[in-house]
Structure 1
Amino acid sequence: MAQHPLQRLASPARQLSMALHVAGIASFIASFRFLDTWDTPMSAAYGGHYQFLTIIGLALALCTFVVGLLADLTLSPQLFGVKNILSVCSAPLELLITILYWGLCAIDKNLVFPPEFQLDFLPDFGFHAAPGLFLTLDLLLLSPPWTIHGYSAMALSQALAFLYWFWVEYCFSQNGWYPYPIFDILSTWQRALLFTVSALLMTGSTMMLKWLYGKVNGIEGFKKEAVTNPVGVRARDA
């Protein structure tokens, strides 16, 4: 398949692209397998581990890379386009998860995990850093540039943030406790503020990834074009 003119390396392709997607899938599946052996009250509660934004993001990252691998195997431009669309959600979300998690851990790790359930470094890295790294590499090296508008990125981020807040509150109504200790500390309006700030951070993550793409791939004027174009990945980019 011909390489996209604004894409650094060939993808879909049965070379580096496939190797990166296989490595990412192996990492994500290893994290899910760890959950099967991690005995916590969450596993038996309503919503299970999917009360955690981390696990929702991990599932979306896995879907993105599975579709990417299928595109590599079939050299299908349609599947490649689907992978790129999924990436618009999954990559900024994983970057947000990385920023929030390690930022809160720098303040107090007990804000995100009770002391008795804190993770060793390897699974911690697998959940809270590896997905963001894999998705960023896939974007920078193996994808055409995003053309999502800044306001559209904000709308998408706010929708995801408040959908997750609704989900967390619904699980709380069933279980009587929140998945993250920080939610117990905050009042309702403070949680609203946290989710609003998170949406803004995710929007900023999208814009930062677009800017970084332009820098890495040497596309002059891309930052301005990417912000002003309509939402989505253009048909020629797929």
Structure 2
Amino acid sequence: MFLHTAGIISFLASFRFLSGWETEITGSFGGHYQFLTIIGLAFALCTFTIGLLADLTLSPNLFRVKNSLAMCSAPLEVLISILFWGLCAIDKNLVFPPESELPFLPNFGFHAAPGLFLALDVLLLSPPWTIAGFATVVLSQTLGFLYWFWVEYCYEQNGWYPYPIFAMLNTWQRATLFAFSALLMTGSTILLKWLYSKVNGLEHSRAGAIGVPAGAPSEG
């Protein structure tokens, strides 16, 4: 409950900062939800809110919903952290114009804190994932291309892309970028499962399924 509460406070603080951050994108079609970062943050907030409700009610069904949402939101947030900080290491202008650069604390709240909170929840306070490799690939590719279609639709309405890197690429290059990002998300899922097995033991990681393991308490 402490972890979920701390995460919710962090996510809400990021949304509060966002509400007072006036940029060109604020009044555009799709608003800040053109950014994968903000979509991921909304998923993270939803995951932890349901997690907190599960903590308070001890409802096995709510724990199952939270763990199922985390199967999407945790790898997505790990992907966002890898992409953002990796691209910033190459050139910050790939992810935002110089006039839109954020101070360190809000930047950390948007692009690092959600991944850290969700990873801790998955590794220390959740039952093991048993999602198969093929299902992981399908899920990641589906989310990746859904976001691509959303970005292109927003481009048709606004005439510009939320991330400068998208404008630097042609259609096929953007498709390749989104497919590669989906593969990175698949890798994030595999990494989290591997870390879970190391933190909790291989035997335990194979024993349960997504949700509440049979015969065990809903969460630690």
Q: CA offsets, 1:161-189, max 9 Å, x none?
A: 00000000000000000000000001110
Tell me how far 1:233 sits from its aligned partner: 1.7
Q: Corresponding residue for 2:85?
A: 102
In the alignment, structure 2 segments of 5+ residues that lack a partner are none
Count of equivalent residues: 215
Tell me how far 1:234 sits from its aligned partner: 5.6
Tell me how far 1:218 sits from its aligned partner: 1.7
Structure 2: distance between partners of 1:235 and 1:148: 14
Q: Corresponding residue for 1:236?
A: 213
Q: 1:67, 1:83 within 8 Å by CA — same for their partners in 2?
A: yes
Q: 2:25, 2:31 within 8 Å by CA — same for their partners in 1?
A: yes
Q: Which one of 92, 106, 111 corresponds to residue 128 of structure 1? A: 111
Aligned to 2:131, what secondary structure does the other structure show? coil
RMSD: 1.5
Tell me how far 1:40 sits from its aligned partner: 0.4
Structure 2: distance between partners of 1:236 and 1:126: 32
Q: 2:40, 2:76 within 8 Å by CA — same for their partners in 1?
A: yes
Aligned to 1:236, what secondary structure does the other structure show? coil
Q: Which amino acid aligns with 2:189?
A: T
Q: Corresponding residue for 2:145?
A: 162
Q: Are 1:74 and 2:67 an aligned pair? A: no
Name segments (4+ residues, structure 1) moved above 2 Å: 219-222, 234-238
Q: Which one of 183, 192, 198 corresponds to residue 200 of structure 1? A: 183
Q: Which one of 83, 107, 122 corresponds to residue 139 of structure 1? A: 122
Q: CA offsets, 1:66-104, max 9 Å, x none?
A: 000000010111100000000000000000000000000
Structure 1: distance between partners of 2:35 and 2:183: 19
Q: 1:147, 1:234 within 8 Å by CA — same for their partners in 2?
A: no
Scaled by the length of structure 2, the TM-score of the pair is 0.94
Aligned to 1:89, what secondary structure does the other structure show? helix
Q: Are 1:209 and 2:192 an aligned pair? A: yes
Q: Which amino acid aligns with 1:80?
A: F
Q: 1:104, 1:111 within 8 Å by CA — same for their partners in 2?
A: yes
Give the 5 Å matches for 1:1-238: 18-220=1-203, 222=205, 225=206, 233=210, 236=213
Structure 1: distance between partners of 2:91 and 2:63: 40
In the alignment, structure 1 segments of 5+ residues that lack a partner are 1-17
Q: Which amino acid aligns with 1:72?
A: D
Structure 2: distance between partners of 1:93 and 1:77: 24
